[in-house]
Amino acid sequence: MSSIGDCLADATTRLRAAGSETARLDAEVLLGWAIGADRTSIVAHRDAPVGADAQARFEGGVARRALGEPVAYIRGIKEFHGLALAVDRRALIPRPETEALVDAAVSEVMARLARRRGEAGSGPDGGGEPIRVADVGTGSGAIAVALAVELRRRRVEMGRHVTVAATDHSPDALDLARENAVGHAAADGMRFIEADLLPPVLPDGGAAFDVLLANLPYVRSDAIAGLPIAASFEPRQALDGGSDGLDVIRALLGRLPEALAADGVALLEIGADQGETGPAAVEAVLPGWRSTVEPDLAGLARILRVVR
């Protein structure tokens, strides 16, 4: 029977030879998955034996990883905004940089709730309308679910105070998003809508959204082939943003005049190299509207904020 240390050493060598730049980390995470333990225990118990079933599972995972499949798809889980989300080839693996969009959305929703509560006789507790949020191109549901969980943690009553419409044109992705919402008990007040960006008639009789979120595909078509091999396991329609990467975002901008409330805000994730072309697209599609670019923690362009 091999030890944890032997399994790790062997798998790291194989994964490195197969081209993984994170061979040791991959091996540790996959062995943890195979054994049913977290990575810290794996690293701390190098001499412990690995049982036959766990070893077979580990070998299967390492073989898949050696072919380039992302570890998240092999494990079926990706950590996002403190949640363990189910992931598989139906949708893009949520990226850590998208957590900034969730944080920005939480701030927007909380500020709007506070404002409404301050307006005598209106607001959710005074019988007014809930804050309407859209997550366009929801994929695994990462943004919608993380937002709902965070709002619930802040004692916001989902459904009564806030509703979320999560859309995608992929029915498979929507199934996964639904599974994640149910799995995190975050489906209250959340609707899943199959649509090209947004349905022709918006939900709730055409009511506009107060906060519209989207992490749509923004990779240039000619850059897709140069992405790490792991991305080839993800749906192309989740990545390909057309010739300058902004085709899908431009199409969504075109829907904002009817889809966004008068004092609404759209927060759109963009690529690090789209800090100038993003606002230029807003100017071209929505003359007279205002946009700003918010950087992420690394100082790179990340969120395009759009208001009337």
197 is an interface residue for ligand SAM by CB under 6 A: yes
Among 138, 180, 274, 291, binds ligand SAM (CB under 6 A): 138
Smallest gap from Cβ 248 to ligand SAM, in A, equals 5
Question: 245-284 burial by CB neighbour count: b if 16+ within 10 A, else e?
Answer: bbbbbbebbebbeebbbeebbbbbbbbeebbebbbebbee
d(CA 77, CA 43): 20
Q: Which of residues 248-267 bind ligand SAM (CB under 6 A)?
A: 248
Q: Helix or strand or coil: residue 158?
A: strand
130 is an interface residue for ligand SAM by CB under 6 A: no
Smallest gap from Cβ 167 to ligand SAM, in A, equals 6
142 is an interface residue for ligand SAM by CB under 6 A: yes
Query: Which pairing describes strands 83-86 and 77-80: parallel, antiparallel, or unpaired?
Result: antiparallel
147 is an interface residue for ligand SAM by CB under 6 A: no
Among 98, 180, 274, 291, binds ligand SAM (CB under 6 A): 98
- Please choose, from the candidates 255, 233, 256, 252, the residue with its C-alpha nearest in 3D space to the C-alpha of residue 242: 252
Smallest gap from Cβ 135 to ligand SAM, in A, equals 7
180 is an interface residue for ligand SAM by CB under 6 A: no
170 is an interface residue for ligand SAM by CB under 6 A: yes
Smallest gap from Cβ 80 to ligand SAM, in A, equals 8
Closer to ligand SAM at the Cβ: 62 or 249?
249
CB-CB contact of 12 with 24 (8 Å): yes
d(CA 141, CA 117): 29
d(CA 36, CA 283): 51
Name 276's Cβ contacts closer than 8 Å, sequence gap at least 6.
none
- Give residues in contact with ligand SAM (CB under 6 A): 91-92, 94, 98, 137-140, 142-143, 167-170, 173, 196-197, 215-217, 237-238, 248
